[in-house]
Structure 1
Amino acid sequence: MTALFLRDLKLALTGGGGAMTGVIFFLAVVATIPFGIGPDLNLLSRIGPAILWIGALLSTLLTLDRLFQADREDGTLDLLIAGPLPMPLVVLAKCFALWAASCLPLVAASPLLGLFLALEPAALFAVMATLFVGTPAIVFIGAVGAAVAVALPRGGLLVSVLVLPLAIPVLIFGVMATYGAVNEPDPFLPPFLVLCALTLFFGALGPVAAGAALKASGD
């Protein structure tokens, strides 16, 4: 499992997994929003957390179609299905590698990009914390969609269509927790804990469902 994680991480970081595409897209989306909205710092500060979260969600969706597709094309997926490692653990290792290569840079860049949106220091920390906790849930959800669409020649759009509705609760509670950190009447901890629970739930369910879908596609 560790060897599979390191292999996928190396492929993603060297460009084979297309992880940098999501990072560049995230930077482009967030950096261009202020030019479209204008110099209204109050408006940017108010909608900044939502912009960062939407940018991170869309950027993650861009990388999901390559989660299993490259392994299917070169035959590695067949070896993994027939190998001794259970498929849920295979999916879990690949999800962690994708998250470390594509989502972790988004988390690290979010405070800097938050400055473009005139976010307060508390909001910067809250966005970083919620993205760190919430983006794994998006990857686990995306693993199921990528496994379902892996047998299709052009399944990238289908992955986004399958994943986006299921990822909406993660987006809602991530933004809600961020707003709770800067708006005194709104709580931060309850939505943050719900976000953690969503990640744990999809972390347990996603690899099992994706592993079953991959086995079915290989039969």
Structure 2
Amino acid sequence: MLVYFLKPAGYEVLTAMTGRDALTILAKELPDIILLDVMLPDIDGFQICERIKKDSRTFHIPIIMITALKELRHKIRGLEAGADDFISKPFDSVELLTRVKSLLRLKFYHDELVQRNKELETQKRMLQREDQLKKELTNLIVHDMKSPLFVIQGNLQMMNMLKESGQEINEEKYTRRIERSSRGLLRMILNLLDISRLEQQSMELTPTPIDLATVITD
């Protein structure tokens, strides 16, 4: 009977005559809402409801329990089993469609929230990865800065030693070494500044072709 109300309202309907049939369908399909009769020929609706709500695949699907049982204890049992709403037999078609629409709207909001949380979690992981890469790159540059500093310091010390000992100094050779190391050190400092601007999202990236052989030689 439910099919005659739901299909004309534009809903696609899957039907199951028994509790086992319903569980079989749920193993393959995830409906947006479940209308569950309490009185089923094999497994009662309360047990089916409990199984659905305990399953991580289906717990979020809203369930309307349909029952001819009038006693309050039956409704309490249904709520304890996880039912989201009740409709008593005989039911009114307008009431049925109103409650279905209401629960579907709630499920839509729930699904939107879940999807948004997934997107935020993905963004969070990406930001954490980017932050880790920036730290690793910064540490690498800082570590590599020691090499040109040692070269500059070593050549200055050598020039001072030669000067103090009265030996002839090839200033051009030492100056060239110091200049080359200074250029390398300057590039590293600029790279650190670029990383800082990237962190502040104030740097505009402009790809530029380079001569790799020249970079390696320098």
Note whether the superposition's TM-score is higher than 0.5.
Answer: no
TM-score of the aligned structures, taking structure 2 as reference length: 0.25
Pick the structure with more strand per residue.
Answer: 2
Greater relative CO, 1 or 2 (CA 8 Å, sep 6+): 1
Pick the structure with more helix per residue.
Answer: 1
TM-score of the aligned structures, taking structure 1 as reference length: 0.25
